[in-house]
Structure 1
Amino acid sequence: MSFVWKVRKQAYEDAAKQFELTPDEHDPTFRPFNQDPSLWKGAVADSNVAAQSDGIAAYCAFLKFGGRENCVRSRGHVITPIVEKGLISTRPATKTSSLEALLLLIEIDTAAPVIEDILPAVSAKLPKVIAAALAALTSIFHNYGCKVVDPKPVLKVLPKAFGHADKNVRAEATNLAVEFYRWLRDAMKPMFWNDLKPTQQSDLEAQFEKVKAEPAPKQERLLRSQQEAMARAPPPGTEGEDIYDGDDAEEPAEVDAFDLAEPQDVLSKVPADFHDNLASSKWKDRKEALESLFAAINVPRIKDADFNEINRGLAKSMKDANIAVVTQAAQCIEVLAMGLRKSYGKYRSIVMPPIMERLKEKKQSVADALGAALDQVFMATSFSECLEDILAFLSHKNPQVKEGTLKFLVRCLRTTRDVPSKQEVTSIVEAAKKLLSESSESLRSGGAEVLGTVMKIVGERAMNPHMEALDDIRKTKVKEFFDKAEVKAKDKPKPAPAPAARVPAGGPKKVAGAGPKKAPGAVKKVAPAASAPPLAEPASPSAQPRPKPAGPSKLGLPKPGGPTGLKAPQRRLAAPGVGSPRRAAAPPPPPPPIEDEEPIAVSPPPKPRIGLGRGGLAGRSLAKPSVAPTLAPIAASAAPASGLTAMERAELEELRTANEQLLRQVDELRHDKSKLSSEILELKNQNAGLIEDHTRDHLSIKAKETQLVRARSDAEAAEQVNERLRRELERLKRALSRAEGLGVSGSGVPSPMVMSPSHDDMGIYRDGSNSAGARSNRMSFASTMSEEKENGDAPPPYARSKLSPEARYTSASSGRGSPARGIRSANTDEAAHGTTGASASASNGVESWRRAAEVTSQLKARIEQMKAKQGFNRP
């Protein structure tokens, strides 16, 4: 390479011109550059800016006219110099040529190697190199889109560019993120959104709002492979291309976060005590366990593992009494199915029936969570797999469950891309027609919507047999939903079968005396004459139209056409002038036709007298008897390929009948299966309800037994208290009786004793007795008197001030003959007797009572004497 930049510049210009003049990519002009691709490294990174511009332009011409081999050989030598030297050039032409070279490298081959060599520049030291690399990536994705160029490697390094200190780098990163948003929308966010600062997120959201209203972007530059495919494609409207309207065209698949994200192992992030907390008796513990599970599995893509136990726990949570737990469990199922996609299909039978059973909840938030979970489970499976459970719950006894299942079925019909089979369509239609007679308006409308959506998929013609039994009002309702329905799966009409190759009428011509010939391309079925019954082969009509005989033939055979109903092909006639072995009696119209020598029937019926015919002795020609032997091989010829014997048609009808019977049996069995499945499900629900009732009754019985034991213990304690109170009451009654006996009698004179004291009351008349009974009786009497004083109904005490003046005066006298002295002496004796009685044993108790009674009698007598002396008894 020359050291003079002008020489290098001229060499680059000459090379570009030579590349343009080459006839194809195999021209010898490209050979030196293919043998040593490193020559281009010095050209695209030339130290002179003018020469570098022409060098990159020459490389672009080399790629444009050199083909894929030149691209692949030189790609690894030029991408890094172009990014580091060409894209940051101060000349606009150099920048444009550098970017064009990168786009050509992708156009000619693939994008992955080019992106792989550009990405290291994002970590370069110079900010202008990083900004130039990001701008080039933006241009690449703008031209080819995210379906041709994989965005995942770029999205991984994008947060690093947002964290750069240079504002130009951050601005180019923002432009690249906006370009990604045009193609990916919100699916790009899980890849890098959490690594950005809140201010950067808000700024990006503002930029995203500006492009939200823009139409979906389209690929502006095609790969060479795409260009060749378009060149090979036939023009629109030609044969071989299916022509459908725009509604039938399949929508392009959208790129979502699942396709961009890498699978993550979330099973290790699930808390170890998840199952224990999920089985807790406290609803808060169960809810917290589900929240921790949701935080662990809420990722764009989940690595497949054994989630069987987790799904069983989530399915059990669908029966939880707390709706917050149910809602959180439904959200866990939704994100788990969204993260696993097709791998979640094996868990469908575990979670779908419990979710559909819980559709009875009337709260809208719970219903929305359950519906979202069902939708994601359906997206992970297929319509045929979910249909059995859907049909089973359409006959549920709970109207709320029916309505939720109907809505789910409509969503499935709208989103599925698989056209249901005829048997599935029949099952869906029959279930929907039953709902048209429901008492609830929502169920009737749901049934009509299902029918309208199915009609949109299979077409009006296919639905006509199912719509005959409906009245006009329901047909109108179904037609309304049919007009409004939007589906992704449509039953496209089958192409018309190609017309069968026709055999020329009458078969090929044959010259008299020559052997039978087969027409080229014709296939004939040869059968021996003995194996085919006479009724199975129709007689061939003549070349010219003639009336058919009304009655049977002379030999008793059926007339041509026979029971098979097949019409024999027309015969082709030989050239005029050639003799025929069977010539008609009546002269035919000119030119004289010659009948084909290849008969169709083994034993043909006799021909009529008019026109040409065959069969029978009368039809034989007398002019050329030598031709007669040729009839023997002719009789053994086979029937035409298009005809069927009566036996074959009968066998075909039998097979069709058997097929219809089998189809009916299959439908009946499927209906019985669905009915039994619904019964099994209902019995399971009843069994679960009975188990819950049994558990509840058992717990209630245990509680009642506990209450009964407590009641018994309380009753025993109450009886003891009652007995104690009864004894206390009796004691109080006796004390009250004694107090009343000591009260004032008659005119106010106190009566010391009215009745005989009991055994317990002996302590009242004993002085200084140390017996426990006496002390307790005195205390009881004192307490009784104090209580009666408090209540205000105590009898007058023994106090001396309460006695009458006469009594006080009498008591004050100390004479020997004073009654008071006698009373005191009597009291002294009584006290002595009481002391003696108290110290005596239990056997002397009766004597003590007798003495007490005597003292009482004496006291009464003395009181009477005193009354008599004082004049109380005067009238």
Structure 2
Amino acid sequence: MADGEPDFSSLPLPDRFAHKNWKVRKEGYEEAKAEFEKTPDESHPTFTPFLQDPGLWKGAVADSNVAAQVEGLTAYCAFLKFGGVQACSRTRNTTIGPIAEKGLPCARPVGKASAQEALLLCVELDKADPVLEELLPALSHKVPKVVAGTLTALSLIYHNFGCKIVDPKPTLKALTKVFGHADKNVRAEAQNLTVELYRWLREAMKPLFWSDLKPVQQQDLEKLFENVKQEPAPKQERFTRAQQDAMAVASEAPADGGAEEEAGDDFDEDGGEEEVLDLAEPVDVFPKIPKDLHDQLASSKWKDRKEALDALYNVINVPRIKDGPYDEIVRDLAKSMKDANVAVVTVAANCVDLLASGLRAGFMKHRATIMAPMLERLKEKKQAVADALGNALYAVFSSTTLTDCLEDILEYLKHKNPQVKQETVKFLIRCLRNTRTVPAKPEIKSIADAGTKLLTESTEGMRSGGAETLGTLMKILGERAMNPYLDGLDDIRKTKVKEFFETAEVKAKDRPKPIAPPPKAAPAARKAMPGKKPAMGLKKPAPAAAPVEEAPAKPAPRGIPSKLGGIPKTGTGLAPPGSKLRSKLGGPGGVASPQRRAAPPPAEEEAPPPPAAPKFGMGRGLAGRPIAKPAAAEPAPAPAPAVSGISAAERAELEELRADKERSARTIEDLKAERSKFNNELTELQNQNAQLIEDHTRDVLSIKAKETQLVRARSDAETAEANVQKQQREIERLKRELARALRATALSPPNASSETGSIGIPDAASMYQESASNGHAAAARSGLHMGSRFEGSRPRSYASASPSEDKENPGLESPGFSNRESGLGRRKLSPSYGYSGVGSPTRSSTRTSANATEEDQPRSAEPAENWKRAAEVTSQLKARIEQMKARQGLSRPPAQR
């Protein structure tokens, strides 16, 4: 610090990161970088405060002072580099946005490079998706420098890691908007990013954004693409942490340098190889398919059928198709393969090609429906039709596996039509070239037998097809594995198969693991042998006999010296127990590795004491000098008969064990492939089971809803039935009341009836019969129950009625009754008779003699009152019946009739 300025070096680093003085912050960034570089591992306490408070880095990478910002970006790079995955995952959400806004457009090149390196480290340590999520919104920033810097950073990310690690879809979708930016630097960087993506994706990138560009922009990009097309395929230059760990494991696995180098080459090849990604989103084309497609394909006119298929072709002509119920469409296409018109067959094959290529794995369930009809149609001699069918068959194969298609292919290789056989052979060869899985052992035998049979055909094309099939299969398996299938062929046919083998290009190769050579195990055995007997349980050097298969072909293979071990039993020519193993290992009872040529013994072998010299021999190989020659030069030839190498039986046993091992490895691979196939079937069955369970649940709920409705309906029916019974009881009660009233009326004396009849009043019995018949008929027609409709709780009985009540309520009579009965005798009753409504006369008004005594009046008044009450009840019943009918709309009220 300068003189007069306070010293802040004693403050903790987090406090210095947040200090208001930029110099203090800058020194804090520098010291933090130095501390990070000194940490021994990622779990050091130095990282703890910065992991707990990621906001410290937000201010560091976007510091307002340029000099401090450069140091802050450098410190953040060191933090990521030495802090590992945890440092990246906890801070990237906080830092990537400020880096894009302040770091990438930094005025100093060092700061800009540090910002770009920080983004690359975030991708390297974990994964690229979170980085893209935070980085792509910066493309909509209002400052052009920020947008241009973000595009440059994206180009660097894709250049270093490739499109296999970094998903290109989000970037391609955002390119259209960037190409329309007003700043020319932004547009230039957008072109650079597009060219970088084209290096990896080629034409597969165009469907996502190409149609949204202007024609001038498309022409400019096409010119830039022409330069890229001449370049070799790009390779990943920077690897993620997971890839680095895998490479480290792969490099440590081999035992020797040659195997290590081979493993490294294989890893680089697999890791650097980039597959062209299909970036299009699945499109649901099923609703767009014409609804009358099936009817049109059944038309008798070939033009109608072709037009229907053309419409289907236009609908499904998309890169990817969303899976759906295409079973009926595939059956219609299979039926179209038998069409008599070749134009219809060609368009149908093109539709199958598009459908299989779009659905991919989703088309697997339709393979059995469509493949056999297409193979049968290969009899068509027109090349255009054959090419369309071949492309469609290959699209079906691409959606499945060679195992799925092989049965149909081998079946049609036996077809009686030569054209079908020849085109099927071409299809088989194409499948072998493009399959990514090595066929199983039974499949290899079937293909080899079919190819061998084709070599005996009469036509040259079939013979060449058979030879090419065998040569392509040999390319997959290797020459050694293919030798058993070529043993019965003559030299001319073998030569032709070898020619196709040399030129064949396949994507699947059977690479059995090489047997580790034993030379590096020999020095360890030599160190353990001088002056000591080797351990009897030692079994590791047993693979020393690996070069046996090459020994007969090489006259003088180079050997590695090995010691003789142990002391044989004297006095006997028999080897001790375990001598067969010790003879291979160089232990007691024999020489080590007799397959190698003798070499000068090492220095430590020349120094043994003189008495032990006669008991040791010299290692030699199978192509070296005979075993008897050194024995003649030895001072003590007696032990020589006990020295024995690997016999022919042992070599045969070793070869058999190797063959068993190879068969076991192949069986394991076959089982793995079968397990994968079963897993796929299991997944599909689980999906179907889930769908069935869902349908069952829906049906059960529907049934329960119906049952609930039925229970409610039954409850309503029972309620209605109870109401009906209640009304019937009420009707019966009313009938009994009427009957009681009639019986009371019937007890009236004859003079009462004569007197009432003399003035034209109808008889009570006839009135009741008429009213009752009318009332019951109306009730029967309407189907109503009067008990629930009455306004009162119960009608008035005759026993409880009194004359005073009748005088107080003179208007209770039924109007209908009075109207019908008032015309009797064709005269009106005068008020002098006491007739009110129905004309209920009294005994006193009808007397004709003036000398009637007062004793007769009570007897005659009682029947009159009963008659009045009966008429009153009848009129009330009729009025209520009419009211009920009016309420139900069954008849008009009395006033409207």
TM-score if structure 1 supplies the norm length? 0.56
* Matched residue count: 540
Contact 1:178 1:207 in 2 (8 A): yes
Change (3 A) 1:130 1:473: same
CA RMSD of superposed structures (Å): 4.1
Question: Could you tell me which amino acid in structure 2 is paired with residue 456 of structure 1?
Answer: K
After superposition, give the CA deviation of every residue in 1:52-86 in whole Å (9 maximum; x if it has no partner): 22222222222222222222222111111111122
Q: Is structure 2 residue 305 aligned with structure 1 residue 267?
A: no
Question: Could you tell me which amino acid in structure 2 is paired with residue 471 of structure 1?
Answer: D
Alignment of 1:376-525 (within 5 A): 376-493=395-512, 495-496=514-515
Change (3 A) 1:470 1:104: closer
Q: Secondary structure at the match of 2:509?
A: coil
Q: Is structure 2 residue 116 aligned with structure 1 residue 96?
A: no
Q: Secondary structure at the match of 1:184?
A: helix
Change (3 A) 1:284 1:129: farther
Contact 2:474 2:482 in 1 (8 A): yes
Equivalent residue, structure 1, for 2:43: 26
How far is 1:6 from its partner?
3.0
After superposition, give the CA deviation of every residue in 1:687-711 in whole Å (9 maximum; x if it has no partner): xxxxxxxxxxxxxxxxxxxxxxxxx
How far is 1:310 from its partner?
1.3
Question: Could you tell me which amino acid in structure 2 is paired with residue 119 of structure 1?
Answer: L
Equivalent residue, structure 2, for 1:192: 209
Equivalent residue, structure 2, for 1:217: 234
Output the CA distance in 2 between the equivalents of 1:91 and 1:243: 43
Output the CA distance in 2 between the equivalents of 1:162 and 1:49: 31
Question: Could you tell me which amino acid in structure 2 is paired with residue 256 of structure 1?
Answer: V
The structure with the largest helix share of the pair is 2
Q: Secondary structure at the match of 1:155?
A: helix
After superposition, give the CA deviation of every residue in 1:26-56 in whole Å (9 maximum; x if it has no partner): 3333232222211111222222222222222
Equivalent residue for 2:378, pick from 333, 356, 359: 359
Equivalent residue, structure 2, for 1:2: 19
Contact 1:383 1:416 in 2 (8 A): yes
Q: Is structure 2 residue 152 aligned with structure 1 residue 135?
A: yes
Contact 1:543 1:572 in 2 (8 A): no
Identify which range, 245-254 or 224-233, moves more after superposition: 245-254
Output the CA distance in 2 between the equivalents of 1:391 and 1:57: 65
Alignment of 1:768-779 (within 5 A): none
Equivalent residue, structure 1, for 2:77: 60
Equivalent residue, structure 1, for 2:817: none
Change (3 A) 1:7 1:377: same
Alignment of 1:247-646 (within 5 A): 254-258=274-278, 260-493=279-512, 495-496=514-515, 543-544=569-570, 546=572
Change (3 A) 1:430 1:20: closer
Change (3 A) 1:97 1:384: same
Question: Could you tell me which amino acid in structure 1 is paired with residue 293 of structure 2?
Answer: F
Equivalent residue, structure 2, for 1:44: 61
Equivalent residue for 2:91, pick from 74, 93, 100: 74
Alignment of 1:645-664 (within 5 A): none
Output the CA distance in 2 between the equivalents of 1:35 and 1:449: 66
How far is 1:243 from its partner?
7.2
Output the CA distance in 2 between the equivalents of 1:81 and 1:568: 71
Output the CA distance in 2 between the equivalents of 1:26 and 1:402: 67
Alignment of 1:745-764 (within 5 A): none
Change (3 A) 1:22 1:450: closer
Q: Secondary structure at the match of 1:387?
A: helix
Question: Could you tell me which amino acid in structure 2 is paired with residue 187 of structure 1?
Answer: A
Question: Could you tell me which amino acid in structure 1 is paired with residue 25 of structure 2?
Answer: R
Of structures 1 and 2, the larger Rg is shown by: 1
Output the CA distance in 1 between the equivalents of 2:39 and 2:277: 46
How far is 1:407 from its partner?
0.7
How far is 1:289 from its partner?
2.1
After superposition, give the CA deviation of every residue in 1:243-262 in whole Å (9 maximum; x if it has no partner): 7699988766543343x333
Equivalent residue, structure 1, for 2:633: none
How far is 1:568 from its partner?
11
Equivalent residue, structure 1, for 2:892: none
Identify which range, 288-297 or 341-350, moves more after superposition: 288-297
Contact 2:413 2:421 in 1 (8 A): yes
How far is 1:297 from its partner?
2.2
Change (3 A) 1:388 1:166: same
Contact 1:121 1:133 in 2 (8 A): yes
Q: Is structure 2 residue 37 aligned with structure 1 residue 17?
A: no
Contact 1:257 1:300 in 2 (8 A): no
Output the CA distance in 2 between the equivalents of 1:233 and 1:68: 22
Change (3 A) 1:65 1:463: closer
Question: Could you tell me which amino acid in structure 2 is paired with residue 435 of structure 1?
Answer: L
**Structure 2: stretches of 5+ with no match in the other structure:** 1-17, 519-534, 540-567, 590-610, 613-637, 639-652, 668-897
Output the CA distance in 1 between the equivalents of 2:23 and 2:517: 70
Contact 2:61 2:73 in 1 (8 A): yes
Equivalent residue, structure 2, for 1:227: 244
Output the CA distance in 1 between the equivalents of 2:398 and 2:356: 8
After superposition, give the CA deviation of every residue in 1:219-268 in whole Å (9 maximum; x if it has no partner): 2222233333333443596359587699988766543343x333332222
Contact 2:251 2:260 in 1 (8 A): no
Q: Secondary structure at the match of 1:470?
A: coil
Output the CA distance in 2 between the equivalents of 1:21 and 1:225: 24
Change (3 A) 1:164 1:282: farther
Q: Is structure 2 residue 128 aligned with structure 1 residue 111?
A: yes
Output the CA distance in 1 between the equivalents of 2:230 and 2:317: 29
Output the CA distance in 1 between the equivalents of 2:136 and 2:516: 55
Question: Could you tell me which amino acid in structure 1 is paired with residue 331 of structure 2?
Answer: R
How far is 1:431 from its partner?
2.2
Contact 2:77 2:117 in 1 (8 A): yes
Contact 2:200 2:276 in 1 (8 A): no
Equivalent residue, structure 2, for 1:202: 219
Contact 1:190 1:257 in 2 (8 A): no
Contact 2:101 2:138 in 1 (8 A): yes
Output the CA distance in 1 between the equivalents of 2:358 and 2:30: 55
Change (3 A) 1:245 1:229: closer
Output the CA distance in 1 between the equivalents of 2:354 and 2:273: 21
Identify which range, 26-35 or 113-122, moves more after superposition: 26-35
How far is 1:495 from its partner?
4.8
**Structure 1: stretches of 5+ with no match in the other structure:** 500-517, 523-541, 549-559, 574-588, 591-610, 612-648, 664-875
Output the CA distance in 2 between the equivalents of 1:141 and 1:51: 29
Question: Could you tell me which amino acid in structure 1 is paired with residue 469 of structure 2?
Answer: V
Output the CA distance in 1 between the equivalents of 2:265 and 2:119: 38
Change (3 A) 1:454 1:255: closer
Contact 1:326 1:366 in 2 (8 A): yes
Equivalent residue, structure 2, for 1:684: none
Identity among equivalent positions (%) equals 61
Alignment of 1:687-702 (within 5 A): none
After superposition, give the CA deviation of every residue in 1:198-225 in whole Å (9 maximum; x if it has no partner): 3322222211111111111122222233
How far is 1:111 from its partner?
1.3
Output the CA distance in 1 between the equivalents of 2:513 and 2:71: 58
Change (3 A) 1:311 1:248: farther
Equivalent residue, structure 2, for 1:126: 143
Output the CA distance in 2 between the equivalents of 1:427 and 1:230: 38
Q: Secondary structure at the match of 1:67?
A: helix
Output the CA distance in 2 between the equivalents of 1:492 and 1:82: 47
Q: Secondary structure at the match of 1:234?
A: helix
How far is 1:348 from its partner?
1.1
Change (3 A) 1:345 1:253: farther
Equivalent residue, structure 1, for 2:891: none
After superposition, give the CA deviation of every residue in 1:770-791 in whole Å (9 maximum; x if it has no partner): xxxxxxxxxxxxxxxxxxxxxx
